[in-house]
Amino acid sequence: MRYVLAIVALLAIVGGLAAVKYKQISGLISAGKAMEKAGPPPEPVSTSLARADTWQETLDAVGSVAAARGVTVSNDAPGVVSAIHFESGKLVHTGDVLVELDSNVERAQLASLEARKELAQINAGRTRALVATDSLPRAQQDTDDAVVKTSRSDLDVLRAQIARKTVRAPFTGKLGIRQVNLGQYLNPGTTLTSLEATDTVFVDFTLPQQLLRTVALGMPVHVVIEGEAATPVDGTIGAIDPSIDAVTRSIKLRASLPNKDEKLLPGMFAKVSVALPDKRDVVIVPVQGVVHASYGDSVYVVEDRRDDAGNPAAGKVARQQFVKLGETRGDYVSVQKGITPGQEIVTAGAFKLHNGAAITVDNAVQAKADIAPHPENR
């Protein structure tokens, strides 16, 4: 009898446990079906409105800054450096003495020639007085006058040789690094330093040959220096090479830009935009709202949610819309096809969406988009 009671009690316990587990599993299955029917929770996103804008047509290129006037300063005559009158990086003016070479020998010769010239002038004066009294023939006067002219010519030649021993600044500008020292012997053409005038600079760039008829002298140019947070520098096209590069099939252009603050230095990399007279209406959206894929570019448009019968329902959904993109300027890109002004598109969180995904819009924190951004260089 005791065994029967024990078995009945055991069966009761097992049955109770089975009933509890069945109830738990049934609850989980019901909750899963409810979640499946309700779908995944809405994804939080940030949005922005597509807007219409007017953009001026431009031709973009890259180029490099060049000095309007720049030379490598060198000596014309050989000699030993006797004096240096400049420091690296200093501003000099036209005619300032930079380097002097030893000219003691030439100056001694100059003193000798000056004494000979004085003697020749005295002899010529005496001869002129004697010729006037017919004491000497006129041929002697011509000979003495020729000696005076020869002495003057020899002096001019020697003075020119001495002047070649002094190197002067050919124009006003900023010097480069000094490359000579006192006592150094210089052969003709030795580099002393560089000199560049940077109050006005050039930007050299190229464009495809198909655009030859599009550009013209005097067209406005906007130049942005890579890595600089300053505003673009405005200039004009000053020269167009009349020939086409046979290798790249491109035309060479040169723009002139003011540089009073000397922020543009020769050799800098520059982004160039040639402003054309034509303007066009565009639809623009922030670049971060575009999803790039191998099968095409797309954006997610925010729409009101609808139920299976097509009736309005609570909440928002994201609809994937394929677009054809155009030019990019700053943080915006133009959309040639697929979007109209005023449509709300997802700009943050688009990477985690799919077509028809439920979303919640939160624009409390948004990245600011700008046509011409100037981020801080940290």
Cα distance between residue 257 and residue 92, in whole Å: 22
Domain at 39-55+281-361, CATH class: mainly beta
Residue with token string 């054809």: 324
Cα distance between residue 103 and residue 107, in whole Å: 6
| Per-residue tokens: 215 | 């550009």
Residues facing 254 on adjacent strands: 204, 239
CATH code of the region 103-164: 1.10.287
CB 67 within 8 A of CB 266: yes
For 195-262, the DSSP string reads: EEEEEEEEEEEEEEGGGTTT--TT-EEEEEETT--SPPEEEEEEEEEEEE-TTT-EEEEEEEEE-TT-
Residues facing 193 on adjacent strands: 73
SS (H, E, C) 99-150: EEECCHHHHHHHHHHHHHHHHHHHHHHHHHHHHHCCCCCHHHHHHHHHHHHH
CATH topology of domain 59-67+199-277: Elongation Factor Tu (Ef-tu); domain 3 (2.40.30)
Instruction: Give phi and psi for 129, each to the nearest 5.
Output: -70, -40
Q: Give yes or no on whether 39-55+281-361 and 59-67+199-277 have one common fold.
A: no
Secondary structure class of 297 (helix, strand, coil) = strand
- Give pLDDT, residue 305: 81
Burial class (CB in 10 A: 0-12, 13-18, 19+), 128: middle
Q: Give the global pTM.
A: 0.59
In the chain, what are the domain boundaries?
Answer: 39-55+281-361, 59-67+199-277, 103-164
378 residues of the chain, pLDDT tens digit each: 667 777 777 777 777 777 777 777 877 777 666 555 555 678 888 889 999 988 888 888 999 998 888 888 999 889 999 999 988 988 899 989 999 998 888 888 878 888 888 887 887 788 777 777 777 788 887 787 788 888 888 888 888 888 888 899 998 888 999 999 999 999 998 999 999 887 889 999 999 998 888 898 999 998 888 765 556 788 999 999 999 988 989 999 999 998 887 788 888 888 898 988 888 888 999 998 899 988 889 999 998 887 766 676 778 888 999 999 988 888 889 999 988 999 999 998 888 888 888 888 888 777 777 766 656 655
Over the stretch 60-113, which tens digit does the pLDDT of each residue have?
899 999 888 888 899 988 999 999 998 898 889 998 999 999 888 888 887 888
Q: How many Cα neighbours within 13 Å face the side chain of 212? A: 11
Cα distance between residue 208 and residue 61, in whole Å: 10
Pairing of strands 269-286, 250-258: unpaired
| Per-residue tokens: 363 | 């624009």
